[in-house]
Amino acid sequence: MKIALISPKGPLYRHRGGIFVKSLRYQPLTLPVLASLVPEEFSSAPIDIYDDGVEDVPEGLTADLVGMTVITGNAKRAYALSDSFRGRGIPVVLGGPHVTLLPEEALEHADAICVGYAEDAWPELLRDFVSGGMKREYRQAEDFSLERLLPYPRRDLMSPKRYLTQAVFEASRSCVHDCEFCVAPTAWGQRQYRKNIGQLVNDIRNVGMRQILFVDLNLISDLEYAKELFQALVPLNVEWFGLSTLMIAHEPELMTLMAKSGCKGLLLGFEALSGDSLGDVHKNFNASVDYGRLVHDLHKLGIAVQGCFVFGLDHDDKDVFDKAANCAIEWGIDLPRFSILTPFPGTPLFKRLSSERRILTRDWELYDGQHVVFQPVRMTPDELLRGHERAWKKVYGWSGMARRLRRAGNYSLLKLSVNFGYRFYAHRLRRFYTCDVPLRPNQTPLRMPDDKGGQ
């Protein structure tokens, strides 16, 4: 049996004309994890991994079974590839966040789908396939857990030359919060799944790199687990980068331990500056934090900040873009990032906007955080798109960059090169607006029934 595992390219993740220049990419973890889950009895089966984001999937690819991972932004490409393989008689299994959110749609393009996490389902599916009894649908069990010992991801199946780093790990999955726009609580449940820390430490040791990356959505979902994890990292003497919520601001001891364990950079979802906008998307907990102070405290500990903001929330006015860009500069955010609110299908946000008849398009290719796919309240879709672009340009303009980096201090080579990478992106954003959003004829800001008009 020959298995081909594919990660399709999307508008933001492709090797020609895409926004992420090759040097900024880290090796994806999904396919190495799936490859590691192939049961031992099939260990002689060749497994080929294709990352469509770095090289085209060969047209004449041959395999007994294709497994493809699907996120919303690349669903169109995934379905096109899948339809073509199936047309040539190659069975295709689809899995990943988009399939978990919209299983019925995915089933139309697959021989089988895998809904949710696949540590149990994928080996079961492969055994069924070999015995000729593959079912149409496999689902994550109610009592799913990651705590048992799991095989190490097969990073060796991907070429290290194509990526900035192969040292990509995860300690946990999903998140305990329920922000309205987030895919995680809808797709996998509002909880954290934790991996065995001892095994993770062994994996990190085996990979043997000094700089590592965690793709966990929220490393501090559970404070006790986070403490245990950071303590276990201390003796490894690694430098690590990961994601956390702003709730770290309320945990000074954990923050210090984080720094001691080698944390050099955190991605933080600031999302919005006003309490009303945070409330719009059920992220009120951010309002308890003084953003500028948090950035300052992290810098003092040698931790750089990648600060993410979302535009287009119902209370966002037209001045939100400049305000966010100015704050990012004033606080010295090392790497500011802006995205446009995106109602991923299946999320509470999608359901709400849909019921308010504010979804403008269901072209999933535009669901990439950089296009406007819904009708905003206090501005037109076009104003939202242009304002978002303006914010990027402001923080990555020469003056914005110089002021931010001077405030942040610590001019590491990595930080400078990533800043230049984002500068390149910020000034070419327009090139990546691949299609025009089918906007409503009336291009005036939408007023909701209880709306006071932006006061």
Nearer to ligand B12, 122 or 446 (CB): 122
Residue 373: name its binding partner from ligand B12, ligand SF4, none (Cβ under 5 to 8 Å by kind). Answer: none
Residue 185: name its binding partner from ligand B12, ligand SF4, none (Cβ under 5 to 8 Å by kind). Answer: ligand SF4
Tell me, by CB under 6 A, how many residues bind ligand SF4: 11
* Contact call for residues 285 and 279 (beta carbons, < 8 A): no
- Where in 206-225 is the site for ligand SF4 (CB under 6 A)? 217-218
Antiparallel, parallel or unpaired: β 193-194 and 172-173: antiparallel
Nearer to ligand B12, 154 or 299 (CB): 154
Residue 269: name its binding partner from ligand SF4, ligand B12, none (Cβ under 5 to 8 Å by kind). Answer: ligand SF4
CB of 416 to ligand B12, least distance (A): 21
Q: Which of 3, 4, 27, 30 binds ligand B12 (CB under 6 A)?
A: 30
Question: What is the C-alpha to C-alpha distance for residues 287 and 419, in angstroms, rounded to an integer?
Answer: 28
> Which CB contacts under 8 angstroms, 24+ apart, belong to 15-18?
15/53, 15/54, 15/55, 15/56, 17/431, 18/53, 18/432
Q: Which of 3, 134, 183, 268 binds ligand B12 (CB under 6 A)?
A: 183
Secondary structure of residue 120 in the 3-state scheme:
coil
Q: Which of 5, 47, 115, 182 binds ligand SF4 (CB under 6 A)?
A: 182
Nearer to ligand B12, 119 or 316 (CB): 119
**Which stretch in 19-27, 112-120, 174-182, 293-301 sits in contact with ligand SF4 by CB under 6 A?**
174-182
Secondary structure of residue 406 in the 3-state scheme:
helix
Question: What is the C-alpha to C-alpha distance for residues 28 and 53, in angstroms, rounded to an integer?
Answer: 10
CB of 215 to ligand SF4, least distance (A): 12
293-to-244, 250, 264, 289, 300 alpha-carbon distances in Å: 16, 11, 18, 8, 10
- Where in 261-320 is the site for ligand SF4 (CB under 6 A)? 269
152-to-35, 162, 236 alpha-carbon distances in Å: 10, 21, 18
Strand runs (DSSP E) across 33-174, as ranges? 47-51, 65-69, 92-95, 112-115, 137-139, 168-169, 172-173
- Where in 68-97 is the site for ligand B12 (CB under 6 A)? 68-69, 71-74, 93-97
Q: Which of 79, 122, 129, 350 binds ligand B12 (CB under 6 A)?
A: 122
**Residue 298: both structure tokens together:** 């992290």
x/- mask, ligand B12, residues 154-173, rule CB under 6 A, reads ----------------x---
Local structure of residue 30 (DSSP, 8 states): H
Rg (CA), the chain: 22
Question: What is the C-alpha to C-alpha distance for residues 214 and 167, in angstroms, rounded to an integer?
Answer: 9
Rounded to 5 degrees, φ, ψ at 307 are -105, 125
**Which stretch in 55-63, 82-90, 113-121, 430-438 sits in contact with ligand B12 by CB under 6 A?**
113-121
Q: Is 114 in the site for ligand B12 (CB under 6 A)?
A: yes
Question: What is the C-alpha to C-alpha distance for residues 376 and 366, in angstroms, rounded to an integer?
Answer: 16
x/- mask, ligand SF4, residues 228-247, rule CB under 6 A, reads -----------------x--
Residues at the site binding ligand SF4, with contacts judged by CB under 6 A: 175, 177-179, 182, 184-185, 217-218, 245, 269
Residues at the site binding ligand B12, with contacts judged by CB under 6 A: 7, 10-13, 28-30, 33-34, 67-69, 71-74, 93-98, 101, 114, 117-119, 122, 170, 182-184, 215, 217, 339, 344, 368-369
